[in-house]
């Protein structure tokens, strides 16, 4: 199975991608940037809000992915904007929806601070638009299975979070 991991700036996405690869997944890493560029054999830069970049990647890869883990909305990645706002999720969903061979791949949008998960975390009101984007993307692209997973990552919880995401993605 071919997975796309939209890698965050803090390195968590690389840890998750490595774990997925150790579990037999083929992983393509996507980094946010200013336009579609191949970085390496399985690494690309895309402009998050450009549907054309995702479409170009689908063509380059020979088809859409079997699953996506979207990490660009983790709290540490949102402060500077970087084009990784809710419109990026819509662009991704539209590009994937445009391909007839797609069969309901899961799109797991990972966030931090959207919901009160443990009662101890700091909520991030700037993340609220993500829920609307998930709902809009699911409505526009019914072939996709889009869901939000809100987490409490923290510096000490990364390995625990990798394990949790591996469980969440086990069926994909």
Both tokens of residue 85? 């706002």
Contact 64, 30 (CB under 8 A): no
- The pLDDT value recorded for residue 82 is 41
Q: Compute the distance between CA of residue 45 and CA of residue 41 in angstroms, rounded to an integer.
A: 12
Q: Compute the distance between CA of residue 77 and CA of residue 153 in angstroms, rounded to an integer.
A: 13
- The pLDDT value recorded for residue 80 is 46
What are the residue ranges in the chain where pLDDT is below 70? Answer: 75-85, 100-102, 104, 153-157, 171-172
- The pLDDT value recorded for residue 83 is 41
């Amino acid at each position: 199975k071919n997975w796309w991991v939209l890698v965050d700036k803090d390195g968590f996405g690389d840890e998750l991608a490595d774990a997925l690869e150790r579990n037999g997944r083929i992983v393509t890493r996507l980094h946010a940037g200013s336009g579609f560029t191949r970085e390496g054999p399985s690494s690309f830069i895309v402009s998050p809000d450009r549907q054309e970049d995702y479409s170009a990647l689908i063509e380059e890869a020979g088809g859409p992915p079997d699953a996506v883990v979207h990490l660009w909305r983790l709290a540490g990645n949102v402060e500077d904007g970087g084009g990784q706002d809710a419109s990026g999720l819509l662009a991704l969903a539209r590009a994937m929806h445009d391909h007839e061979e797609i069969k309901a791949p899961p799109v797991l949008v990972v966030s931090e601070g959207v919901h009160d998960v443990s009662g101890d975390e700091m909520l991030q009101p700037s993340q609220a638009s993500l829920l609307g984007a998930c709902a809009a993307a699911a409505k526009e692209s019914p072939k996709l299975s889009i869901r939000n997973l809100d987490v409490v990552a923290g510096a000490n919880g990364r390995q625990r979070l990798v394990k949790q995401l591996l469980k969440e993605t086990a069926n994909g």
